Structure 1
Amino acid sequence: MANEPSAAGQIRVMVCYALPGHAWQREVCLPDGATVDDALAASGFAQAFPVVKPWERGVGVFGRATEPHARLADGDRVEVYRGLTFDPKESRRRRAEHRRAKTARNGRVRPAGLL
């Protein structure tokens, strides 16, 4: 965001949507008291991503889930979340199996519980 102060009665908010390989970002200037829904509408998110329903996966402000009617403050970052590309539990399981196989090949044995 620009380092310029917002006009009186106005707030500047960044709306972000992370995609594989790049991030979509739009800075919007809104009246004081604006909500998350107002920021999404002003950013043009619906036009840029017509098939994405932001509230389906969630929307947050600085990594904290929020509601459409939540009021924003100057400098907030509204984040539209997307589905995970992998299951974190499955990924941990695969890494643990890989480590066990590697230690078995090297002939080393680790104490139980340490991966």
Structure 2
Amino acid sequence: MAKVWVVYCAEDQQYAIHLPFQQGMTAAQALAQSQLAQKVALPEPLQLGVFGLKIKDPEHYLLNAGDRLEIYRPLKMNPKDVRRKRAAQHPVGRFSRGNQWRKQQKTTE
């Protein structure tokens, strides 16, 4: 029996609900059948995707058997900013005194 998965990752819990696949099922219909909106508050505006590719119009997007319908929520922080902050706290690279500089100092002594 073919299935369609509806997946949502909330801050405190993950949801993966499988539904029986029906020919002509749209993304909006699959979301309604999963009854995920009754279990958890979904983010607004609602952004959906299939296997990491965003869907522009969930009302008309037809799902295939085995698809994973994902519900996206906005990020709390920018991953680039987190990486920059971490790199500033622990500088390792060509012009800083990291591990390679220490090795070089031990060999010259």
The counterpart of 2:73, out of the listed 66, 70, 82, is: 82
Counterpart of 1:64 in structure 2 is 53
CA root-mean-square deviation: 2.7
What do the CA deviations read for 1:24-72 (whole angstroms, capped 9, x no partner)? 11111242011000100000011112x3246x25110011101312100
Instruction: Choose the corresponding residue for 1:46, options 37, 47, 52.
Output: 37
Give the match's secondary structure for 1:20.
Answer: coil
> Can you give the 5+ residue segments of structure 1 that lack an aligned partner in the other structure?
7-11, 109-115
Superposed displacement of residue 93, structure 1: 1.1
Q: Which runs of 4+ in 1 moved over 3 A?
A: 101-108
Aligned residue runs from structure 1 range 89-104, under 5 A? 89-100=80-91, 103-104=96-97
Aligned partners of 2:75 and 2:100: how far apart in 1? Answer: 36
Per the alignment, residue 107 of structure 2 pairs with none
Q: Report the CA distance between 1:101 and its aligned residue.
A: 7.6
Output the CA distance in 2 between the equivalents of 1:95 and 1:45. 36
**Range moving further from structure 2, 84-93 or 61-70:** 84-93
Between the aligned partners of 1:20 and 1:46, the Cα distance in structure 2 is 15
Larger radius of gyration, structure 1 or 2? 2
Instruction: Report % sequence identity.
Output: 33
1:34 paired residue number: 25
- TM-score normalised per structure 2: 0.74
CA deviation after TM superposition for structure 1 residue 74, in Å = 0.4
Q: More deviation in 22-31 or 79-88?
A: 22-31
